[in-house]
């Protein structure tokens, strides 16, 4: 089951954005990491079996305040 997790992360500078992407990419099962939104303040994570709560806790500890906006299953169109 591939899922898409969108989290709003408090990032004040370019270094914070880089750190947020690095922390998200290190999580187990992650296939894609990117930034979204007008201010590039939303981190998008896609992967198989990614634990959204654990990822958000890790982001809070290493980057800054993090809110989970959505967790959705990605359906592949055949």
pLDDT tier for residue 26 given thresholds of 50, 70 and 90: very high
Average pLDDT for 15-43: 94
Average pLDDT for 18-45: 95
Res 41: pLDDT: 93
pLDDT tier for residue 76 given thresholds of 50, 70 and 90: confident
Q: Is 9 exposed, middle or buried (0-12, 13-18, 19+ CB in 10 A)?
A: buried
Cα–Cα distance for residue pair 28/47, rounded to 1 Å: 9
Question: Please, are residues 42 and 69 in contact by the beta-carbon 8 Å criterion?
Answer: yes
Res 70: pLDDT: 97
Q: Which two tokens stand for residue 13?
A: 């500078």
Cα–Cα distance for residue pair 52/58, rounded to 1 Å: 10
Res 55: pLDDT: 96
């Amino acid at each position: 089951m591939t899922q898409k997790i969108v989290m709003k992360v408090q990032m004040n500078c370019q270094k914070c954005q880089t750190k947020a992407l690095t922390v998200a990419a290190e999580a187990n099962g992650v296939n894609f990491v990117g930034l979204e939104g007008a201010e590039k303040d939303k981190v998008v994570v896609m992967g198989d079996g990614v634990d959204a709560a654990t990822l958000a806790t890790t982001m809070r500890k290493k980057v800054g305040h993090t809110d989970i906006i959505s967790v959705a299953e990605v359906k592949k169109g055949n």
